[in-house]
Chain A
Amino acid sequence: MTFLSYLISGISLGSIYAIIALGYTMVYGIAKMLNFAHGDVIMVGGYMSFMATTNFGWPPLLSVLFAMGVCTVLGILIEQLAYKPLRSAPSLAVLITAIGVSYFLQNAALLIWSPNPKSFTSVVLFDSVRLFDGKLIISGTTIVTIVACIIIIVALNTIVNKTKVGKAMRAVSEDKDVAQLMGISVNKTISITFAIGSALAAVAGVLLCSAYPILMPTTGAMPGIKAFTAAVFGGIGSIPGAFLGGILLGVIEILGKAYISTQLSDAIVFAVLIIILLVKPTGLLGKKVLVKV
């Protein structure tokens, strides 16, 4: 029974990593850049939802939509101001700019909301589920997180594979120049990708803060790094890969803590990651790209 509840904790944590990782992987797959500011957009999402529920007294669902709205705008804004001018620059230049944006968001949050942590009220209102005479308790937030993660992955898969926008995304991902020649607006497609990624970040932020109800300007930093790891782990650019990578990372983290050592839980996570990459050098579900001369 203990194992089962550890497993559920792991899947719950992993679902949050997965949602964040999906944002990373979408942007990477289409714009070919590592958006290190993604973790901080999560934090902004958390603060928006917090303000909406606590300061304005809005209902939880509305607060989520509000957070998604603000983050979408923020994501597009960041993309237009900081990343778009660098479209033709080397990818590392964009990476550094993304880091600059990350510093900016963190420090702006520090000034706006003060460094004092805020206690987040979960947006999930229904009670925990008790199974086996209360031996196994699954909180409402856990259930919502897992369900939300599944809905998001299904929705994303549908968007990317079944819609016209998705087709454009795939085309841009394959070859920007050719896509442009085919009449696809590359800039618009990338903006849409950022919008989706940032909206996902908002959802991740709200869920992260609902599950672990504390909000600080640095809230998004570590989950951001972990989710980035998860995205690469699953095979960067691959949507099912990000999902699988996120879930696995969460489960390994919790089980590592439970059965090996709480002191070294992160070391265990990263060691497992290295070992798996040795076996699968392009991530779990990454495409094996054949390089020709």
Chain B
Amino acid sequence: MKSLKSRYNIDNWLTYGLVIFAYIVMRILIANGKVSFALQGQLVPITVYIVMAVSLNLTVGVLGELSLGHAGFMSVGAFSGAISATLLELSVRTTLPAWMRLALAMIIGGIVAGFFGFLIGIPVLRLEGDYLAIVTLAFGEIIKNVINVIYIGYDANGIRISTESANALNLGENGKIILSGPMGAIGITKISTFTAGFILILITLFIVLNLINSRAGRAIKAVRDNKIAAESVGISTWKYRMMAFVTSAALAGAAGALYALNYSTVVARKFDFNTSILVLVFVVLGRMGNIRGSIIAATVLTVLPELLRTFNEVRMLVYAVILILVMLVRNNTTLQHLYQRIVTKLRYDRPPAEEGDEA
């Protein structure tokens, strides 16, 4: 039992180590001017997608439920985060420093998304399998539709909300429109930073890894593996499923806030079915339940389309082919056996050398 525990620890520290190492390397490279604008511009989205992938992995990999609406939580977090950040900037007399506004926005984004996670969790967790998946999909679509008809403005008299149009807000002088229906949240001050993203990843890892390796995490996995057996030994399946689901939603919300505050505008259309699917691809490619895999897959697949720009018009076609091939190779039984053989051989030949490889 002890050795099992220490194994978990090593594994977890490795994940933290990878993230911290990557962060430091990037920082050094940036300081030396070795990083292209293209990659620098992608750093925040990469951290966002990592958090998205890790949090979805909690639902899909650890809890074992297919969610097709993870972008919906990101959307909720993005808009609540963007609105609160802009309101903080406009309303608080002594303007808070940017990092504090960002932190507050992420916390608010997380809380609001977590709340929505709870709300949608009530119907979702009564269902199973594809029926559950379809409700998450439906949730994502509903959010997208609803945000398109909400207008929020702020003026001397406070916050105004309308579902008609920006004109219907009747903003006074110096009034500012914060959310403008299909235009999305506009006039956002860009305050997201790579460091904030890095910290969010660490927090996410801390929450998710601790949850997985805690009593609750073992209960969640027990529910995944056999719901009835878990129930029969007295595990409250509803409670643990809800716990995983809400945590996952809240983290996605915080990531959404970080994402929104990285651009001067964000629209509801961005968080559609395709984005949910994209994050799901990260999770499946990184292996379900494998947190480190999610991190790596999210990074590689976010950078990949940009690297493929040299292919011009066939870029997305190449991306599709790569995706299919990777899935085929990863799940090819012959290759898996070969790989297993190599691993076994390595293990018996020189076990310590392999440990050194990761450092």
Q: Give the B-binding residues of A (Cβ under 8 A).
A: 28, 34, 36, 82, 85-86, 88-90, 92-93, 95-97, 99-101, 103-104, 107-108, 111, 225, 228-229, 232-233, 236, 263-264, 266-267, 270-271, 273-274, 277-278, 281-283, 286, 291-293
Contact = CB atoms under 8 A, between A and B. Distances in A.
Contact of A293 (B133, B228, B328): B228
Interface residues of B, number: 48
Contacts of A92: 60, 66, 280, 284, 288
A292 B228 contact: yes
Nearest to A97: B327
A82 B123 contact: no
B200 interface: no
Contacts, number: 126
26 contacts: A34-B130, A85-B331, A86-B327, A86-B328, A88-B333, A93-B330, A95-B284, A100-B323, A103-B317, A103-B319, A104-B321, A104-B324, A232-B130, A263-B149, A266-B142, A267-B142, A271-B138, A271-B142, A274-B123, A274-B135, A274-B138, A277-B123, A277-B135, A281-B128, A286-B131, A293-B226
A100 B288 contact: no
Contacts of B123: 274, 277-278
A111 B285 CA distance: 27
Contact of A277 (B127, B229, B331): B127
Nearest to A273: B138
B145 interface: yes
Contacts of B139: 270, 274
A108 B317 CA distance: 7
Contact of B146 (A100, A267, A283): A267
Contacts of B155: none
B232 interface: yes
Contacts of A266: 141-142, 144-145
Interface of B: 60, 66, 123, 126-128, 130-131, 133-135, 137-139, 141-142, 144-146, 148-149, 226-229, 232, 273, 277, 280-281, 284-285, 288, 313-314, 316-317, 319-321, 323-324, 327-328, 330-333
Contacts of A274: 123, 135, 138-139
A233 B281 CA distance: 24
Residue of B145, B288, B319, B333 with most chain A CB atoms under a 10 A cut-off = B145
A30 B314 CA distance: 34
Nearest to B133: A232
A282 B132 CA distance: 10
**4 nearest interchain CB pairs?**
A270-B138, A103-B320, A89-B331, A104-B320
A266 B273 CA distance: 13
A272 B56 CA distance: 26
A94 to B, nearest CB: 8
A291 to B, nearest CB: 6
Given A92-B288, A96-B284, A101 B126 contact: no
A273 B133 CA distance: 12
A277 B125 CA distance: 11
B278 to A, nearest CB: 9
